Structure 1
Amino acid sequence: MDKCTYCKSSPSNLKYKTSDVFGQHWEIHQCCNCQAYYIAPNPSPNQLAQAYADDYYGEQEEKFSFPLVEKILDYFRGGRARKLSKYIEANSAVLDIGCGNGQFLESLVKHGDYKLFGTELAGKSAERAKRIPQVNLRIGFLEEVVFDKESFDAITLFHVFEHLSEPELSLNIIHEILKPNGVLVMSFPNIDSWQSRIFKGKWLHLDPPRHLFFFEPKTFRGLMESQGFAFIDESYFSMEQNPFGMVQSILNLWNKKREVLFESMKGNHTYTQEYSSFNIILQKMFFILSFPIFIISDVIASLFKKSATVEFVFRKK
């Protein structure tokens, strides 16, 4: 029997089935011990290597083939940088785990003279991050990279935690390398969201097999407090993540393959070749026309803490 990704226990309840962009089939289980939702069977190293091939990161110079998309994402990265800068002092050391192309860390330069560190797996994203001279980049998983104890004033994981194969170990390492009163910012998909409950296996943010596990926000907050972190803040509204999650999840109901629009935006023509240019244009028009509606719906969902993603801010006790 497959074990929970987080606590490694076996007893679980099957919630629903799903499939990935490669046509492989999976199940979503909820652990009876820690209450995490996780993908089963546990993905093999070969399956994960396939999932994180170059087409995942985008094979062109940037991840997305449309420059406007990258500019919009840079705007949101800048917003995250502004928010973090309010919690930290000048000359703080900041570590972004799974830093991607490093643009979030580069945005921090505008707000203070910080010491910037990032970790990223070898590949296209790491190559992009290497272009930023201010970032001290370490290649590999967190457990493979050595940092001194209590060396960071702030640590961030933006939509990275759910990718970790050893999340409990990673949290222990984060607690060890974060200074007392240091800030931890984490965002991830909300498995308790209305989107998750409506679309189930077709939900964009399920992203099998890359997303290995999920926590309901209330459960996760309790887990973090037991791990030595004090809750500071939480936010659910995300114009960056949630409206598009609704659009792509709706399209997943109609398309034979999942994430067709998203893959087309990354320039993954091999994946989308069975769809005509006209079909892709129609999907993009649906996105553009429905986006304002789904911004409003996300505002409503966030009031009930049922938006598709959540961001937490904690402080080490």
Structure 2
Amino acid sequence: MKPFLKTKDFSITGEDFELLLDEELQMLVTKPQPKDLQKFYESDAYISHTDASKSAIDKMYQAVKKISLAQKVFLINRYANQNKTLLDVGAGTGDFLLEAEKWKWSVKGVEPNQDARIRSREKKMELLSSIDEVPQTKFQVITLWHVLEHLPDLDLQIAKIIERLEDDGALVIAVPNFKSYDAKHYKEFWAAYDVPRHLWHFSKEAIGKIFAKHDMQLMKTKPMWFDAFYVSILSEKYKTGKQNFIKAFFVGLYSNLVAVFNGQPSSVIYILKKQE
């Protein structure tokens, strides 16, 4: 692997990290990868583990989340069979599972962060702390919404997840795309690098190659248009120390316009199935 970029943990610790390029997979790897990652999540700044609505960015995130929850359920409904069984890995505070329950899905969720599990429990959604606690049963749909990039021992974790997928089931994964325009524009300040919480940084080529090793076939991709705007707002703050909403909006808009032509949006949803 060769050096690609030097960046830092802008949101919590300020520590320096490096991104290395795996040329074969077309994936970036965070170095070093701390053995104890927990301290890098222990902050109210890590919004996916909270329901905070204090700052303007918090409010924007929560507003977009309400829209995206409905879109996510609409997506998985396409892959439902009569059972409608769903496993969400990295469930945060449980909102996606609660929305899926409204649509008659039988749900289970995994969330390693204790504070997030407590918040989910307060909403009457009980989550497991690891994939190993999930019963040895099969699910029609398994989702990882911006979670794959957080998982240590990547191939081992992927194998455990696929073990719990029905033969005709769908694996739905959303991750940032380091080949997007906004990633190239912001460089080391791109918020979706989010080191060291993000251990891996994927491209479309990487997802296809990684999952092919596990006999999974990439069936479809979908862009996540909102992500370009949200990531650009955070990136502007990291770069300049200011919100710069207007500039961030136009960077996000331009990134989405470029993605229409080159197929490289800020974040991508991948739908994979077991090879027949």
Shorter-chain TM range is 0.7 to 0.9
Q: Partner of 2:257 in structure 1?
A: 300
Q: Partner of 1:252 in structure 2?
A: 238
Which string of whole-angstrom CA distances, capped at 9 and with x for unpartnered residues, describes residues 138-175 of structure 1?
A: 123x2x424315x1111000000000112111111111
Letter in 2 for 1:315: K
What is the total number of aligned residue pairs between the two structures? 269
Q: State the distance in 2 between where 1:211 and 1:175 align.
A: 21
Letter in 1 for 2:219: I
Q: Partner of 2:65 in structure 1?
A: 73
Residues 61 and 162 (structure 1), Cα distance of their counterparts in 2 relative to 1, 3 Å cut: closer
Q: State the distance in 1 between where 2:59 and 2:206 align.
A: 37
Letter in 2 for 1:250: E
Matched, 1:39 2:66: no
Matched, 1:19 2:8: yes
1:312 to 265, 270, 274: 270
1:139 to 129, 133, 136: 129
Please report how far the alpha carbon of residue 136 of structure 1 lies from its aligned counterpart in structure 2 after TM superposition: 4.7
Please report how far the alpha carbon of residue 64 of structure 1 lies from its aligned counterpart in structure 2 after TM superposition: 3.4
Please report how far the alpha carbon of residue 210 of structure 1 lies from its aligned counterpart in structure 2 after TM superposition: 0.5
1:153 to 99, 122, 140: 140
Q: Is the 8 A contact 1:57 1:124 kept in 2?
A: no
After superposition, where does 1:61-210 map in structure 2 within 5 Å? 62-65=51-54, 68-69=59-60, 70-111=62-103, 113-133=104-124, 135-140=125-130, 142=131, 144-149=132-137, 151-210=138-197
Letter in 2 for 1:175: I
Q: Is the 8 A contact 1:57 1:125 kept in 2?
A: no
Which string of whole-angstrom CA distances, capped at 9 and with x for unpartnered residues, describes residues 9-48 of structure 1?
A: xxx1011111113221111111355443111122231xx2
Please report how far the alpha carbon of residue 120 of structure 1 lies from its aligned counterpart in structure 2 after TM superposition: 0.3
SS at match of 2:122: coil
Q: State the distance in 1 between where 2:48 and 2:220 align.
A: 37
User: What TM-score, normalized by structure 2, do the two folds share?
Assistant: 0.88
Q: Is the 8 A contact 2:182 2:251 kept in 1?
A: no
Q: State the distance in 1 between where 2:49 and 2:175 align.
A: 26
Q: State the distance in 2 between where 1:89 and 1:60 align.
A: 31
Q: Is the 8 A contact 2:228 2:256 kept in 1?
A: no
Q: State the distance in 2 between where 1:295 and 1:198 align.
A: 10
SS at match of 1:205: helix
SS at match of 2:167: strand
Larger CA deviation: 218-227 vs 100-109: 218-227
Q: Partner of 1:259 in structure 2?
A: none
Q: Partner of 2:208 in structure 1?
A: 221
Which string of whole-angstrom CA distances, capped at 9 and with x for unpartnered residues, describes residues 164-218 of structure 1?
A: 1121111111111101010100011101112222222111101011001112112
Which string of whole-angstrom CA distances, capped at 9 and with x for unpartnered residues, describes residues 195-252 of structure 1?
A: 222222111101011001112112311332332222221012421x111212322332
Q: Is the 8 A contact 1:202 1:253 kept in 2?
A: yes
Letter in 1 for 2:129: I
Q: State the distance in 2 between where 1:159 and 1:53 align.
A: 18
Letter in 1 for 2:21: Q
Q: Is the 8 A contact 2:236 2:248 kept in 1?
A: no
SS at match of 1:96: strand
SS at match of 1:157: strand
Residues 295 and 16 (structure 1), Cα distance of their counterparts in 2 relative to 1, 3 Å cut: closer
Mark the runs of 5 or more structure 1 residues left unpaired by the alignment.
1-11, 256-278
Which string of whole-angstrom CA distances, capped at 9 and with x for unpartnered residues, describes residues 46-67 of structure 1?
A: xx22211142445997233258
